[in-house]
Amino acid sequence: MRQRNRPPPRNPAAAATSPASSEAAMLRSHTPNRSGYAMLSLFAVIVYGSWSVYQYQYVDLPAPLTGEQAGKRGFSEVEAIEHVKVLAGLGPHQVGSDALELGVKYVATVAEKIKNTSHWEVEVEVDHFHVATGANIIQNGLFRGKSLVYADLDHIVLRLSPKYSSEAKENAILVSSHIDTVFSTGGAGDCSSCVAVMLELARGISQWAHGFTNSVIFLFNTGEEEGLDGAHSFMTQHPWSETIRMAIDLEAMGIGGKSGIFQAGPDPLAIENFALVAKYPSGNIIGQDLFSSGIIKSATDFQVYKEIGGLSGLDFAYTDHTAVYHTKNDKLELLKAGSLQHLGENMLAFLLHTASASTLAKIEGSGVPKDTAPDPATYFDILGMYMVVYRHGFANMLHNSVAMQSLLIWTMSLFIGGYPAAISLLLSCLSAFIMWIFSLGFSVLAAFTLSAVSSSALPYLSNPWLVIGLFGSPSFLGALAGQHIGFLILKRYISGVESKRERISSPSLRASIVKLEAERWLFKSGVLQWLFLLVLGSYYKVGSSFLALIWLASPAFAYGFLEATLSPARLPKPLKLATLLLALSAPILVSAGAIIRLLESLIGNLVRFGRNPGGTPDWMGNVIVAVLVAGVVCLTMVYLLSYVHLSGAKTSVILAALALFALSIGAVWSGAIPAYTDEYARAVHVVHVVDTRNPEKLEPSSYVSLFSITPGKLEREAEHIKEGFECGEDKTLDFVTFSVKYGCRSYNDSGSGWSDSDVPTFQINADTISENRVTEVSMDTKVAKRWALAINTEEIEDFKLTGDSEELIELGKKSTADGWHVIQFAGGKNAPTKFNLTLHWAGNSTKVPEKPDGLGESKYLLKLRTDVDRVTPKADGILKKLPPWCAIFGKSTSPLALSFLASLPADI
pLDDT at 505: 62
Question: For 580-592, what is the mean pLDDT?
Answer: 96
- Residue 252's SS3 state is strand
Question: For 371-386, what is the mean pLDDT?
Answer: 87
C-alpha span between 300 and 479 (Å, rounded): 39
Higher per-residue pLDDT: 8 or 499: 499
Instruction: Find the Cα–Cα–Cα–Cα dihedral 746, 749, 755, 759, rounded to 10°.
Output: 10
Question: For 292-313, what is the mean pLDDT?
Answer: 90
Judged against a pLDDT cut of 50, whether residue 4 lies above it is answered with no
Four-residue CA torsion sign, 389, 395, 401, 402: positive
- Tell me the pLDDT tens digit for each residue of 165-216: 888 999 999 999 999 999 999 999 999 999 999 999 999 999 999 999 999 9
Query: For 203-233, what is the HEC assignment?
Result: HHHCCCHHHCCCEEEEEEECCHHHCCHHHHH
Contact between 151 and 133 (Cβ < 8 Å)? yes
Q: Interior CA angle at 157 toward 153 and 160, to 5°?
A: 175
Judged against a pLDDT cut of 90, whether residue 20 lies above it is answered with no
Comparing CA positions, the residue from 439, 438, 631, 437 lying closest to residue 533 is: 631
Neighbours of 589 (CB within 10 A): 19
Q: How confident is the model at residue 439 (pLDDT cuts 50, 70, 90)?
A: very high
Which residues, other chains included, contact 191 with Cβ-Cβ below 8 Å and sequence gap of 6+?
177, 178, 179, 181, 224, 250, 251, 252
Question: For 853-859, what is the mean pLDDT?
Answer: 48
Amino acid at position 891, single letter: K
For 741-871, strand residue ranges (E) read: 743-746, 761-769, 773-780, 786-792, 796-803, 806-809, 820-827, 834-841, 860-868
Comparing CA positions, the residue from 249, 398, 393, 253 lying closest to residue 318 is: 253
pLDDT at 606: 93
C-alpha span between 682 and 613 (Å, rounded): 13
Amino acid at position 303, single letter: Q
Judged against a pLDDT cut of 70, whether residue 474 lies above it is answered with yes
Q: What are phi and psi of 345, to 5 degrees?
A: -70, -40
| Range from 5-19, 101-115, 449-463 that averages highest in pLDDT | 101-115
Higher per-residue pLDDT: 165 or 327: 327
Question: For 52-58, what is the mean pLDDT?
Answer: 96
Judged against a pLDDT cut of 60, whether residue 10 lies above it is answered with no
Neighbours of 232 (CB within 10 A): 29
Comparing CA positions, the residue from 95, 527, 594, 175 lying closest to residue 351 is: 175
Judged against a pLDDT cut of 60, whether residue 29 lies above it is answered with no
Contact between 196 and 87 (Cβ < 8 Å)? yes
pLDDT at 248: 98
- Strands 834-841 and 386-391, by their bridges, are unpaired
Four-residue CA torsion sign, 62, 66, 70, 72: positive
- Residue 818's SS3 state is coil
C-alpha span between 81 and 818 (Å, rounded): 45
Rounded alpha-carbon distances, angstroms, from residue 425 to 198, 428, 517 = 57, 5, 12
Q: Rg of the Cα trace of the chain? A: 33
Q: How confident is the model at residue 452 (pLDDT cuts 50, 70, 90)?
A: very high
pLDDT at 566: 57
Q: What are phi and psi of 513, to 5 degrees?
A: -65, -40
pLDDT at 756: 92
C-alpha span between 422 and 415 (Å, rounded): 9
Neighbours of 426 (CB within 10 A): 11
Q: How confident is the model at residue 769 (pLDDT cuts 50, 70, 90)?
A: confident
Contact between 212 and 162 (Cβ < 8 Å)? yes
Rounded alpha-carbon distances, angstroms, from residue 463 to 181, 283, 450, 471 = 27, 25, 15, 14
- Tell me the pLDDT tens digit for each residue of 633-652: 999 999 999 999 988 788 88
pLDDT at 198: 98
Question: For 594-606, what is the mean pLDDT?
Answer: 94
Judged against a pLDDT cut of 60, whether residue 11 lies above it is answered with no
Amino acid at position 324, single letter: V
- Tell me the pLDDT tens digit for each residue of 685-736: 999 999 998 777 778 899 999 999 999 999 999 999 999 999 999 888 999 9
Q: Enumerate long-range contacts of 528-537, CB under 8 Å, 24 or more apart.
A: 528/425, 528/428, 528/429, 528/432, 529/432, 529/634, 529/635, 529/638, 530/555, 530/635, 531/403, 531/406, 531/407, 533/635, 534/399, 534/402, 534/403, 535/403, 537/399
Higher per-residue pLDDT: 608 or 23: 608
Amino acid at position 88, single letter: A
Residue 238 CA, chain-centre distance (Å), reads 31
Which residues, other chains included, contact 508 with Cβ-Cβ below 8 Å and sequence gap of 6+?
27
pLDDT at 40: 83
pLDDT at 578: 92
Judged against a pLDDT cut of 90, whether residue 553 lies above it is answered with yes
Q: What are phi and psi of 816, to 5 degrees?
A: -135, 155
Neighbours of 501 (CB within 10 A): 12
Question: For 82-107, what is the mean pLDDT?
Answer: 97
Judged against a pLDDT cut of 60, whether residue 851 lies above it is answered with no
- Tell me the pLDDT tens digit for each residue of 603-620: 999 999 878 999 999 999
Compute the mean pLDDT over every residue in the chain, rounded to the nearest whole number: 90
Contact between 836 and 777 (Cβ < 8 Å)? yes
Peptide bond into 194 cis (omega under 30): no
Which residues, other chains included, contact 405 with Cβ-Cβ below 8 Å and sequence gap of 6+?
none
Query: For 7-72, what is the HEC assignment?
Result: CCCCCHHHHHHHHHHHHHHHHHHCCCCCCHHHHHHHHHHHHHHHHHHHHHHHHCCCCCCCHHHHCC
pLDDT at 855: 37
Question: For 385-405, what is the mean pLDDT?
Answer: 94
C-alpha span between 706 and 282 (Å, rounded): 40
Rounded alpha-carbon distances, angstroms, from residue 834 to 170, 625, 804, 831 = 41, 47, 7, 10
Judged against a pLDDT cut of 60, whether residue 13 lies above it is answered with no
Q: What is the pTM (predicted TM-score) of this model?
A: 0.92
Q: How confident is the model at residue 821 (pLDDT cuts 50, 70, 90)?
A: very high
Amino acid at position 446, single letter: A
Which residues, other chains included, contact 363 with Cβ-Cβ below 8 Å and sequence gap of 6+?
171, 245, 246, 267, 269, 312, 369
C-alpha span between 706 and 696 (Å, rounded): 25
Judged against a pLDDT cut of 60, whether residue 853 lies above it is answered with no
Half-sphere exposure at residue 226, Cβ-oriented, CA atoms within 13 angstroms? 35
- Tell me the pLDDT tens digit for each residue of 239-297: 999 999 999 999 999 999 999 999 998 999 999 999 999 999 999 999 999 988 877 77
C-alpha span between 352 and 442 (Å, rounded): 53
C-alpha span between 633 and 628 (Å, rounded): 9
Judged against a pLDDT cut of 90, whether residue 118 lies above it is answered with yes
pLDDT at 849: 47
Q: What are phi and psi of 66, to 5 degrees?
A: -80, 170
